[in-house]
Amino acid sequence: MRFSLWIAIAVSVLLAFLGSVFVVREGHSAIVFRLGTIVRTDVGPGLHFKVPLVESARVFDRRLLVLPAESERYLTQDKQDVSVDFFALGQIENLQAFFRATGGSEDVAVQRVAPIIRDSLRNEINARTLQEVVSGDRTTVIGRQLKAINQGAQTLGIKIVDIRIKRIELPQDSNVVGSVYDQMRSQRKQVASQLRAEGVEQAQTIRAQADRERAVILAEAERDAQKLRGEGDAEATRLYAQAANKDPSFYAFQRSLEAYRASFSDGQSVIVLDRDDPFLQYMKSDR
């Protein structure tokens, strides 16, 4: 009988001990309740004690958590419809406020913080064109609204550390895709026209430069040719004069032969002269 009593006492003590301690792991915090009322909050990691049957403890994960959200459709500044898929990285900053706002449920926290994020993103996307939203820096889109998002999430005891945009898509059930393709075609045509115009301008510049260089080369060549012709004519005149001084009669005969050759070179020329004309003096026979 005494042995059974001691066993009962030992079991009771063990149960009382187990009911009076709780463990908080690293990266977690706990709230201690006494008959449903919060008496201690932000209990850090370690081994802690509570009053059995009167007090209870609830442990919460205060590490970074991924808060998923469904994709949302927004309207850009140029009235184009886009679908944005995102998720948030957040953590519990005020444990007591988090419990009072959500009852300690992460699902409730996600449901309440998601509209705050969507509204903030809507303000930023509405102020940008479709091209700026798709091709711009996404961190800039988030960075401008992160402070406003945290102000709204402060009542939930949550701090949003970062928001990541996974995809920005054009809804297939709207005319956005066609209009975007048309805009891209128009931009490509505009770029092609600009490149063609620049090419024509460069070609005209090259042709004009080549024509100028050709004109300069021809002018210089003609100048050099005239100079050489002048020098040749001067040399010929000098030689003719020298020959005439040495033998005037032979020079006269040579010049007459050149005149005959030039006059009758085509074989069809007809010259009417007086028989006593000096031009014919070397064609007369002595007999």
Position 254 in a domain: no
Of the ranges 52-56, 212-216, 228-232, 256-260, which one carries the lowest mean pLDDT score?
256-260
State residue 177's pLDDT score: 57
DSSP assignments along 160-210, one per residue: EEEEEEEEEE--TTSTHHHHHHHHHHHHHHHHHHHHHHHHHHHHHHHHHHH
Q: How far apart are CA 10 and CA 145, in angstroms?
A: 59
Summarised one tens digit per residue, pLDDT across range 152-171 is 888 888 888 888 877 777 76
Sorting pLDDT into bands at 50, 70 and 90, what band is 121? confident
Residue 176 has pLDDT above 60, yes or no: no
Of the ranges 112-116, 121-125, 129-133, 235-239, which one carries the lowest mean pLDDT score?
129-133
Under 8 Å between Cβ of 164 and 87: yes
Q: How far apart are CA 89 and CA 141, in angstroms?
A: 16
Domain identity same for 76 and 129: yes
Residue 109 has pLDDT above 80, yes or no: yes
Q: How far apart are CA 184 and CA 130, in angstroms?
A: 12
Tell me the average pLDDT of the chain: 77
Domain identity same for 179 and 163: no
Of 15, 44, 61, which residue sits at a domain end? 61
The packing angle between helices 106-126 and 138-153, to 10°, is 130
Domain identity same for 120 and 208: no
State residue 97's pLDDT score: 87
Domain identity same for 109 and 77: yes
- For the chain, how many structural domains are there in total? 4
Domain identity same for 114 and 182: no
More confident residue, 16 or 271: 271
What are the distances in angstroms from CA 144 to CA 138, 169, 177? Answer: 10, 21, 28
Position 252 in a domain: no
Domain identity same for 69 and 135: yes
Domain identity same for 84 and 148: yes
Domain identity same for 266 and 192: no
Q: Domain limits at 187?
A: 175-246
Which amino acid belongs to residue 181? Y
The CATH number that applies at residue 71 is 3.30.479.30
Summarised one tens digit per residue, pLDDT across range 36-91 is 788 888 888 888 888 777 878 888 888 888 877 777 788 777 777 777 888 888 88
Domain identity same for 203 and 215: yes
DSSP assignments along 227-255, one per residue: HHHHHHHHHHHHHHHHHHHH-HHHHHHHH
β-bridge pairing 55-61 and 46-49: unpaired
Q: How far apart are CA 41 and CA 64, in angstroms?
A: 19
Sorting pLDDT into bands at 50, 70 and 90, what band is 287? very low
**What is the pTM (predicted TM-score) of this model?**
0.50
State residue 206's pLDDT score: 92
Position 274 in a domain: yes
State residue 275's pLDDT score: 64
Position 234 in a domain: yes
Position 281 in a domain: yes
Position 195 in a domain: yes
Of 40, 61, 82, which residue sits at a domain end? 61
More confident residue, 219 or 243: 219
State residue 81's pLDDT score: 78
Give the three-state DSSP class for 226.
helix
Domain identity same for 165 and 182: no
Domain identity same for 7 and 28: yes
Domain identity same for 90 and 28: no
β-bridge pairing 28-34 and 21-24: unpaired
Position 251 in a domain: no
Of 61, 83, 107, which residue sits at a domain end? 61
Residue 30 has pLDDT above 60, yes or no: yes
What are the distances in angstroms from CA 105 to CA 26, 58, 174? Answer: 20, 12, 37
Query: Side-chain half-sphere of 93: how many Cα atoms within 13 Å?
Result: 13
Position 17 in a domain: yes
Contacts 24+ apart (CB under 8 A), 140-144: 141/165
Residue 226 has pLDDT above 60, yes or no: yes
Under 8 Å between Cβ of 73 and 82: yes
